[in-house]
Amino acid sequence: MPIIRSYPVVRLKNNLIFILVILVISSLFAGCAGSIKEKKDKALAMEDMGRSLVLQGDHRKGLSYFLQAAELDPDNPDIEHDLARVYGDLGEYDLALQHYKKAISLKPNFSEAVNNMGALYSRMKEWDKALECFQKAASDILYTTPHFAYHNMGLVYFYKGDYDRAVEYYQKALKIDPSYVNVYFDLAAVYILLKRNEDAVEAYKKAAELSPQSKQAELSLATLYIRMERTRDASDILRAIIESDPRSQAAKDAKQLLESINKR
């Protein structure tokens, strides 16, 4: 007589076991996921605290928070970038490079980190490596601030003594962002070295127009006018600075320049 096999019962037991196993595994993964999220959230809080401290000028305390953040979230390119920048500010260039390279390996299109690594190479006077970084950053179509990279390329060529190339890249930066005031100061400086004083005058005027609250561009322009023996133009600018805010540092500097003119 055939044996009646309890297939439905066996399947039910197997299904129950399977379901129990799935539930256990799911709960474990849920626990792990919760733990990972908690770590990432804590790392983010540590990173924010580190950035705040660095902005306040306390780089070493900020570094301690970045290190704690990196322990909690070791594959976070933004934390590696923060570590690289603060190590660079502290003069620990080798450590800074290690963290820049790790940040870029974790996020290959991290053009901001590439640009900043180039700035570090510039501080180290490794000009060719710096240019390579800046060119890579500028060529990234997704990089939202390529004018920073072009400006930095101009600075490298300036320090290398290639003033014409410096002008070329400063102008590329300004083509992208005509309101990037820092470039006008550097452009004026290189124009002066190239004996293109009138171009330098226009660069300082543009800088003054873009930053009316700061009188640095006007002071620089007045100084240039003195060199060009345009003392009347220089005096007019200096008196205007003094009248605008007599107690400011800019007014004190203007008075000194005005006195130097009057002694001639």
Q: 223: closest CA among 200, 243, 249, 196? A: 200
Measured on CA atoms in the order 193, 197, 200, 205, is the torsion positive or negative?
positive
The whole-number average pLDDT for the span 8-32 is 49
The whole-number pLDDT of residue 17 equals 54
Neighbours of 50 (CB within 10 A): 26
The count of structural domains within the chain is: 1
Q: Is 207 inside any structural domain? A: no
Amino acid 1 reads M
Angle at the Cα of 140 (from 139 to 143), degrees rounded to 5?
125
The whole-number average pLDDT for the span 165-179 is 98
CB neighbour class for 216 (10 Å; exposed up to 12, middle 13-18, buried from 19): middle
Cα 252 from chain centroid? Answer: 33
Tokens 């933004």 label which residue? 78
Phi-psi region of 57 (alpha: psi -120 to 50; beta: other; left: phi over 0): left
Q: Is 246 inside any structural domain? A: no
The whole-number pLDDT of residue 27 equals 52
The whole-number pLDDT of residue 36 equals 83
Tens digit of each residue's pLDDT (9 = 90 or more) over 37-95: 888 889 999 999 999 999 999 999 999 999 999 999 999 999 999 999 999 999 999 99
Q: Is 264 a residue whose pLDDT tops 90? A: no
From residue 99, give the alpha-carbon distance in Å to each of 65, 87, 137.
15, 9, 17
Q: The domain spanning residue 74 has which CATH number?
A: 1.25.40.10
How far apart CA 96 and CA 119 sit, in angstroms, is 11
Q: Is 60 inside any structural domain? A: yes
Measured on CA atoms in the order 134, 135, 137, 142, is the torsion positive or negative?
positive
Q: Is 205 inside any structural domain? A: no
Tens digit of each residue's pLDDT (9 = 90 or more) over 117-152: 999 999 999 999 999 999 999 999 999 999 999 999
How far apart CA 162 and CA 260 sit, in angstroms, is 33
Tens digit of each residue's pLDDT (9 = 90 or more) over 203-247: 999 999 999 889 999 999 999 999 999 999 999 999 999 999 999
Give Dmax (Cα) for the chain.
Answer: 130
Give the global pTM.
0.82
The whole-number average pLDDT for the span 34-39 is 81
Tokens 């390329």 label which residue? 153
Q: Is 1 a residue whose pLDDT tops 50? A: no
Q: Is 215 inside any structural domain? A: no
- For all residues of the chain together, what is the average pLDDT? 89
Q: Is 49 inside any structural domain? A: yes
Q: Is 101 inside any structural domain? A: yes
Given a contact cutoff of 8 angstroms between Cβ atoms, the answer to whether 247 and 209 are in contact is: no
Given a contact cutoff of 8 angstroms between Cβ atoms, the answer to whether 179 and 211 are in contact is: no
Domain that holds residue 102: 41-108
Q: Is 50 inside any structural domain? A: yes
75: DSSP letter = T
Band of pLDDT at residue 25, cut at 50, 70 and 90: low
How far apart CA 84 and CA 124 sit, in angstroms, is 14
